[in-house]
Amino acid sequence: MRIVIGTDHAGFFLKKALSAHIRKLGYQVVDVGAHGTDTVDYPDYAELLGRTLIDGLAERGVLICGSGVGASVAANKMPGIRAGLCHDTYSAHQGVEHDDMNVLVLGGRVIGPELARELVTAYLGARFSGEERHQRRLKKVFALEERMHKPRLITPDRYDAVLLDMDGVITDTASLHATCWKTTFDEYLQQWATRNAVPFRPFDIAVEYKLYVDGKPRYDGVRDFLKSRGIDLPEGAENDPPTAETICGLGNRKNELVNEVLATSGVDAYPGSVAFIKYLRRMGIKTAVVTSSQNCQAVLRAAKIDDLFDARVDGRVLIEHGLAGKPSPDSFLKAAEMLGVIPQRSVVIEDAIAGVEAGAAGGFGLVIGVDRKGNAEELKASGADIVVNDLGQLINGFFTQRFEPAA
């Protein structure tokens, strides 16, 4: 867990002591300052700390000023921040257990380093209980925040569930898949060009990946790309070896490359996406991952986020239920069915053209495109109601295109 710590000049020395203590407890520290004892203003550092949490770059915060009061007031002006001034261990622990407090505020001129260490230990050792009474009260806090701040796009009164693609939306694996596809196709295209005495034309990630492969089930991607090049291969079988010159063989070769990378390099989840999904779950909105990848479970586990979803529809589920891949809406409709929600009260979030088309075709209440490839206009043209660059923008409504949800 990453802990962001910040202070004004009055808490500088206490911040140094607590940073060392937090590291000793086994956590990563993100230090947003201040970095000296020259006089500064506490609201500036409350904002820096709050922004770090909102952007998903840390999971909890420790904020210090002279009394702790000013920093607490400033931090609680930010949507999504639940700061508590605690100078006893009971409050530091219970504030998390009952109220999902995500910022512990301390008075650097009120308490000494020994008590401060005990408070931080109690705070970081606590977990939100999730009990119904606490969930109910926290939802009322969110509703109060909603009424007082800029209206958010996704709230429980409008939507019951959010269905997210994995690669490029939740995890930073879209580029991994694109690279493995290029390796697979270039190996085959080189052999095919030599055999047919024609010039070798490599696979174009910038154009062909988006047009023919991105977001589709593995074998569909192989089939559609080869068709675009006028190459006809036999279908083969799912258990074809990676060396087989078949649709399935090429697809299995790509899968083999992906598994090699997962085993050696691991996977990162986008911090803004993780923060957004946790924000949804705190509000009681259901979440599902919807992907054509058969590596879904392994990827989510590698990124340590497999506990953030109520349902999973992946390549294996598509095969098991005989569902068509994207741009058909089947996979998203299956996810809605598994969650017990209707499409009209569900949100689809996709970075692929085929996925956005699937969301639009399925009659979902809102389709959000994620522009990580510089293709915002294509996503809009394919059916996205709005387009964002990062899911962290959806927490506080920081998107540029105005959108009014249907009544």
Determine the Cα–Cα distance for residues 284 and 279; give it in Å rounded to an integer.
9
Over residues 54-80, the mean pLDDT reads 95
Query: Which pLDDT score is estimated for 404?
Result: 45
Q: For the structural domain made of 174-265, what CATH number should be given?
A: 1.10.150
- Tell me the two tokens of residue 19: 């940073």
The 8-class DSSP code of residue 240 comes to -
Which burial class, exposed, middle or buried, applies to 133 when counting CB atoms under 10 A from its CB (0-12, 13-18, 19+)?
exposed
Longest dimension (CA), the chain: 81
pLDDT in the model for residue 174: 78
How large a percentage of the chain has pLDDT more than 90? Answer: 81
**For 236-277, how does the pLDDT look when each residue is reduced to its tens digit (9 = 90+)?**
999 999 999 999 999 999 999 988 888 888 788 999 999 999
Give pLDDT tens digits for 341-374: 999 999 999 999 999 999 999 999 999 999 998 9
pLDDT at residue 406 in the model: 40
Confidence of residue 151 (pLDDT cuts 50, 70, 90): low
Query: Could you report the per-residue pLDDT of 323-349, keeping only the tens digit for each?
Result: 999 999 999 999 999 999 999 999 999
pLDDT at residue 376, rounded to an integer: 94
- Alpha helices by DSSP H, listed for 125-246, are 132-148, 174-196, 218-228
pTM above 0.95, yes or no: no
Q: Are 135 and 284 in contact (CB under 8 A)?
A: yes
Length of the chain: 407
In this prediction, residue 396 carries a pLDDT of: 66
CA 256 to the chain's CA centroid: 25
Do the beta carbons of residue 75 and residue 105 sit within 8 Å? yes
The label of the residue with tokens 């009394």 reads 67
Confidence of residue 400 (pLDDT cuts 50, 70, 90): very low
Token pair 């512990």 is at which residue? 104
Would you call the peptide bond into 407 cis, given omega within 30 degrees of 0 as the criterion? no
Dist CA 405 CA 387 (whole Å): 14
CATH of 161-173+269-396, one of 3.30.420.40, 2.40.10.120, 3.40.50.1000, 3.30.479.30: 3.40.50.1000
The answer to whether 157 is a known catalytic residue is no
What pLDDT is attached to residue 263?
A: 82
User: Which residue pairs, CB below 8 angstroms and at least 24 apart, start in 384-392?
Assistant: 384/350, 384/356, 384/359, 384/360, 386/153, 390/270, 390/272, 390/273, 391/169, 391/270, 391/272, 391/273, 391/275, 391/276, 391/277, 391/349, 392/54, 392/55, 392/56, 392/271, 392/272, 392/273, 392/275, 392/276
Q: What is the mean pLDDT of the chain?
A: 93
| Residue carrying the six token digits 């299995």 | 252
| Short-list 98, 155, 156, 104, CA closest to 127 | 98
Which residues are registered as beta bridge partners of 30? 4
Query: Is the pLDDT at 93 greater than 70, yes or no?
Result: yes
Evaluate the CA torsion angle 322, 327, 331, 333 in order and state its sign: negative
The phi-psi region of residue 221 (left if phi > 0; otherwise alpha if psi is between -120 and 50; otherwise beta) is alpha
Query: Among 8, 167, 351, 390, which one carries the catalytic annotation?
Result: 167
Name the band, by pLDDT with cuts 50, 70 and 90, for residue 401.
very low
Q: pLDDT (tens digit, 9 = 90+) per residue, 49-61? A: 999 998 889 999 9
Known catalytic residue at 314: no
CATH superfamily of 2-132: Sugar-phosphate isomerase, RpiB/LacA/LacB (3.40.1400.10)
Do the domains 161-173+269-396 and 2-132 match in fold?
A: no
- pLDDT tens-digit profile of 123-146? 999 999 999 999 999 989 988 887
Catalytic residue among 8, 100, 165, 371: 165
- pLDDT of the residue at 397: 59
Question: Tell me: the pLDDT tens digits for 163-219?
Answer: 999 999 999 887 888 999 999 999 999 999 999 999 999 999 989 998 999 888 899
DSSP-derived secondary structure for 191-219: HHHHHHT-------IIIIIIIIITTS-HH
Locate the domains of the chain by residue range: 2-132, 161-173+269-396, 174-265
